[in-house]
Chain A
Amino acid sequence: MRADEPLPDLEAFRSEVRSFLRENLPHDIRERVKRGCNDFTTAELRDWMAVLAHRGGWSCPNWPAEHGGPGWSHAQKYIFEREYALNHCPKLPNGGSAMLGPTLMHYGTREQKNRFLPDILTGKTFWAQGYSEPNAGSDLASLKCRADRDGNHYVINGSKIWTTGAHTSQWLFGLFRTDSSGRKQQGITFLMIKLSSPGITVRPLPMFEGSDELAEVFFDDVRVPVDQCVGEEHDGWNVSKYLLSLERFGAAHIGTTTARLDRVKELAATTPVGEASLLDDPVFANKLAQAEIELRALDVTEQRFLLGSSGAEAAMLKIRGTEVQQMVMELLVEVAGVHAQLAPDTGQEDRPRHAPAGAEYAAHGYFHFRKTPIWGGSNEIMRNIIAKAVLGL
């Protein structure tokens, strides 16, 4: 299967998706995404999610119809992901849609599903993921943030760090230590916590390139009802592992990288070098071609993996996806040339400016996306997984 082959029904689906996105995405959001801006207000994202949700659950493209999602096939999801990125739609917070949602569908009680899934779908609640701690990064199982049972409640004490969007979300799901007597993977419990609960303090952690998506969360005797536990008590490690096994789709972010590569071409074609353009420069064109070939190899690999798994597809797609993404981010910086120096939001709007649109986001994006080989299981940890699980080393 090649999901981009022009099978008649898929082509119809593609144009349906495309025209809906084109007609409904607010123009200024589209323009900002196209320029490379990653910062959107919660209200903007929520409104856009509501529009997608209204269309038939498109806000949660991976969800089955049973839970209000579109119930798409793999090929349809693939097409949607590409069209979403190529039409310059903003990246949505996915803690609820891609992480907690599928976990609840598998492990949640009926009450939990009814209570939480609808608001994820409409974008009413945003969810943060509280796994990492200062001393539990790659070695996640060594986490220490405690949840002590007290009647019908857990009492939480400790802290979480690198919690994306904790300051813009209403809820947090995460892993907490309920027992420290056995192996470190045992005695971990998966809990859902309302971020406005008494005893929670959220401290934003500004990133070095100026983004403000990271935060730290402190828990001081925070009481959480036991019905907010997902799966069995002490079994949170397995609950979170199930989620990891699902995360295959879109791990490589091929859609957004393709959109950025298109942007590189567009900019290179209008960037003068001598009497010609940067796109005519054979050295630059070779680099661009190399990046496109790597992206193509990744794209085909993702499509192959949709058909059958080798056991390492999530890890491999994550590693290569982030590596190719970095290649393209670097090309954006190179195209911007001397204009790459301009920092966003620091100039005087009303003054003569020569930088091409989005030049200020070239280096900004390059800096920002250094995060992807680190998060979600660093690329080193992913290589360890492949070495162990697939190569048997």
Chain B
Amino acid sequence: MRVDASDFELTEEQRLFGESVARFLEQEYPFEKRARIVAGEPGFLDEHWRQFAELGWLGLAIPERYGGLGGGAGDVAVLMEQIGRGLLASPLLTSNVLAAGALVASGDRALCDEILPSTAAGETRLALAYAEPQARYDPFDVATSARRDGEHWRIDGSKIVVGFANCADQLIVSARTAGDRRDRGGISLFLVDPGSPGIDAHHYHTHDGGRASDLAFEAAEAVALIGREGGGLAPLEHALDFASLAVAAEACGAMWAVYEQTLAYIKTREQFGVPIGSFQAIQHRMVDVFMRCELARSMVHDAVAAWGRGDRAEMARAVSAARVNIGNGARLVGEEGIQLHGAIAMTDEVSIGHYLKRITMINASFGDPAWHLARYAGLMREQSGNSGNGDENASK
């Protein structure tokens, strides 16, 4: 067996933590209130952000030595699953999981010491600017450049769909310090003050109530180089994989929420004098939804377990596998949730459509299912190539 039973069980601590997150979101972030919050700027409440810090959510993915709780992938998955259920829109993912993750992975202890304690405390928000107009989902496709100018680095180029840059105190920006646009080497990470001259921002809403920005850099001065010059891609990819794991768990939570609400609805909605859930055409569809939810949960456990074992290639495989399976499953579940509800699900007052929105945005983040499938296929080829005999290896 590839996995042991403990891979599938939450610790007592994780179970209690998950329940507390669920309780908080039910009380503080009911659906009607959420609609008002996401419509206003900056898309979430400061008061909530402070509470997230007190509850430890903001430091969960940050190591203890930098003022966080040093939680593992399993803990983050528990938090994200509840966030998926509660449809929470906030910079938690982009700032405290993704951007903080890149900083930690860079190994730049001095900058981590300087920035992460206040990030965990909710005082400093981060945004990671890596995607580019021509790059689609390839993080190594970097046309943005950084050049030395005396003591400083200056950045030129464009970054797109930077999550919650509207309220970021610091930006982490990937830029090329050597090589050609699609070289894996020569990419560096920089700390940039979003208010510096030479940065033009276009802020907009995303369909799920979140915020994102397109940023144009024109000889914008960086605050600092993060980590080693030219060593930016490994920490970036590591952080993106971790964020992928986090959104896979979030999507899993959203799927279960759609499943439960739809199941309850088809048991009570009556047409032709009976609950619509009594029609076999509906029952079989609902069973398919249920099976996709169970598969999603398995894939989250699988990715968490792989993350715990720490083998880089295996982590990447497990994460991409989860993003493919969950991405396709979540889309189906969201679409079926709407269809089985009928017209009522098309209204703004009902949460089902909003789950499909979040699911669709997740599928357009950190690689869509097609990108992850292609990546998985590449990793699979590499693996079979390395072992010489794929079959023998797999049966062990």
Interface residues of A (CB under 8 A from B): 132, 135, 137-139, 142, 161-162, 205-210, 214, 271-275, 278, 283-284, 326, 330, 333-334, 336-343, 346-348, 351-355, 363-364, 366-367, 370-371, 373-375, 378-380, 383-384
Asked whether B133 is an interface residue with its Cβ less than 8 Å from the other chain, the reply is yes
**Residue in B closest to A342 when the chains form the complex, CB atoms:** B204
How far apart are the CA atoms of A340 and B358 in the complex, in Å? 12
How far apart are the CA atoms of A2 and B141 in the complex, in Å? 48
Asked if B204 and A346 sit within 8 Å, CB to CB, the answer is yes
Asked if A341 and B346 sit within 8 Å, CB to CB, the answer is no
Asked if B347 and A348 sit within 8 Å, CB to CB, the answer is no
CB of B50, distance to nearest CB on chain A (Å): 26
CB of A373, distance to nearest CB on chain B (Å): 6
How far apart are the CA atoms of A330 and B160 in the complex, in Å? 22
CB of B216, distance to nearest CB on chain A (Å): 4
CB of B238, distance to nearest CB on chain A (Å): 20
- Write out the residue numbers on chain A whose beta carbons fall within 8 Å of the beta carbon of B204: 342-343, 346-348
CB of B365, distance to nearest CB on chain A (Å): 7
- Write out the residue numbers on chain B whose beta carbons fall within 8 Å of the beta carbon of A142: 271-273
How far apart are the CA atoms of A379 and B350 in the complex, in Å? 21
- Write out the residue numbers on chain A whose beta carbons fall within 8 Å of the beta carbon of B347: 205-208, 214
Asked whether B241 is an interface residue with its Cβ less than 8 Å from the other chain, the reply is no
CB of A281, distance to nearest CB on chain B (Å): 9
Asked if A374 and B207 sit within 8 Å, CB to CB, the answer is no
Asked whether B342 is an interface residue with its Cβ less than 8 Å from the other chain, the reply is yes
Asked whether B158 is an interface residue with its Cβ less than 8 Å from the other chain, the reply is yes
Asked whether B353 is an interface residue with its Cβ less than 8 Å from the other chain, the reply is yes
- Write out the residue numbers on chain B whose beta carbons fall within 8 Å of the beta carbon of A135: 270
Asked if B161 and A339 sit within 8 Å, CB to CB, the answer is yes
Asked if A275 and B343 sit within 8 Å, CB to CB, the answer is no
Asked if B136 and A271 sit within 8 Å, CB to CB, the answer is yes
**Residue in A closest to B210 when the chains form the complex, CB atoms:** A341
Asked if B202 and A274 sit within 8 Å, CB to CB, the answer is no
Asked whether B55 is an interface residue with its Cβ less than 8 Å from the other chain, the reply is no
Asked whether B250 is an interface residue with its Cβ less than 8 Å from the other chain, the reply is no
B105-153 contacts to A (CB < 8 Å)? 131, 133-134, 136-138, 141
With A137-B271, A138-B271 already in contact, the answer to whether A342 and B212 are too (CB < 8 A) is yes
Asked whether B335 is an interface residue with its Cβ less than 8 Å from the other chain, the reply is yes
How far apart are the CA atoms of A351 and B214 in the complex, in Å? 9
- Write out the residue numbers on chain B whose beta carbons fall within 8 Å of the beta carbon of A337: 136-137, 364, 368
How far apart are the CA atoms of A135 and B342 in the complex, in Å? 12
- Write out the residue numbers on chain B whose beta carbons fall within 8 Å of the beta carbon of A137: 271, 342-343
- Write out the residue numbers on chain A whose beta carbons fall within 8 Å of the beta carbon of B281: 380, 383-384
With A333-B364, A364-B207 already in contact, the answer to whether A138 and B202 are too (CB < 8 A) is no
B156-175 contacts to A (CB < 8 Å)? 158, 160-161
Asked if A338 and B348 sit within 8 Å, CB to CB, the answer is no
Asked if A275 and B182 sit within 8 Å, CB to CB, the answer is yes
Nearest 6 CB-CB pairings of A with B? A208-B353, A351-B202, A347-B204, A346-B205, A139-B271, A341-B206
14 A-B residue pairings within 8 Å (CB atoms) = A205-B348, A284-B370, A330-B331, A336-B364, A338-B365, A339-B161, A341-B161, A341-B206, A342-B161, A347-B203, A351-B203, A363-B360, A370-B345, A374-B339
B281-332 contacts to A (CB < 8 Å)? 281-282, 331
**Residue in A closest to B350 when the chains form the complex, CB atoms:** A208
Asked if B360 and A366 sit within 8 Å, CB to CB, the answer is yes
Point out the residue from A343, A351, A354, A371 that lies within 8 Å of B206, measured CB to CB: A343
Asked if A370 and B271 sit within 8 Å, CB to CB, the answer is no
Asked if A370 and B343 sit within 8 Å, CB to CB, the answer is no
Point out the residue from A161, A206, A338 that lies within 8 Å of B161, measured CB to CB: A338
How many A-B pairs have beta carbons closer than 8 Å: the answer is 161
- Write out the residue numbers on chain B whose beta carbons fall within 8 Å of the beta carbon of A271: 136
With A207-B347, A367-B207, A383-B281 already in contact, the answer to whether A347 and B357 are too (CB < 8 A) is no
Query: Which of under 10, 10 to 19, 20 to 34, or 35 or more describes the interface residues of B?
Result: 35 or more
How far apart are the CA atoms of A206 and B5 in the complex, in Å? 47
How far apart are the CA atoms of A139 and B373 in the complex, in Å? 42
How far apart are the CA atoms of A139 and B272 in the complex, in Å? 6
- Write out the residue numbers on chain B whose beta carbons fall within 8 Å of the beta carbon of A330: 331
Asked if A347 and B202 sit within 8 Å, CB to CB, the answer is yes
- Write out the residue numbers on chain A whose beta carbons fall within 8 Å of the beta carbon of B282: 380
Asked if B353 and A367 sit within 8 Å, CB to CB, the answer is yes
Asked whether B25 is an interface residue with its Cβ less than 8 Å from the other chain, the reply is no
CB of B203, distance to nearest CB on chain A (Å): 7
How far apart are the CA atoms of A364 and B158 in the complex, in Å? 25
CB of A230, distance to nearest CB on chain B (Å): 25
B212-264 contacts to A (CB < 8 Å)? 212, 214, 216
Asked if A274 and B214 sit within 8 Å, CB to CB, the answer is no
With A208-B353, A271-B136, A347-B204 already in contact, the answer to whether A354 and B370 are too (CB < 8 A) is no
Asked if A334 and B368 sit within 8 Å, CB to CB, the answer is yes
Point out the residue from A161, A210, A338 that lies within 8 Å of B137, measured CB to CB: A338
- Write out the residue numbers on chain A whose beta carbons fall within 8 Å of the beta carbon of B276: 138
Known: A340-B364, A341-B207, A380-B282. 4 other contacts (CB 8 A): A137-B343, A214-B343, A337-B368, A371-B346
Point out the residue from B134, B279, B357, B364 that lies within 8 Å of A367, measured CB to CB: B357
How far apart are the CA atoms of A347 and B273 in the complex, in Å? 48
CB of A107, distance to nearest CB on chain B (Å): 27
Asked if A341 and B365 sit within 8 Å, CB to CB, the answer is yes
Asked whether B200 is an interface residue with its Cβ less than 8 Å from the other chain, the reply is yes
Asked if B342 and A138 sit within 8 Å, CB to CB, the answer is yes
Asked if B202 and A352 sit within 8 Å, CB to CB, the answer is yes
Asked whether B201 is an interface residue with its Cβ less than 8 Å from the other chain, the reply is yes
With A138-B272, A273-B136, A367-B353 already in contact, the answer to whether A354 and B346 are too (CB < 8 A) is no
**Residue in B closest to A333 when the chains form the complex, CB atoms:** B360
With A206-B347, A338-B161 already in contact, the answer to whether A370 and B368 are too (CB < 8 A) is no
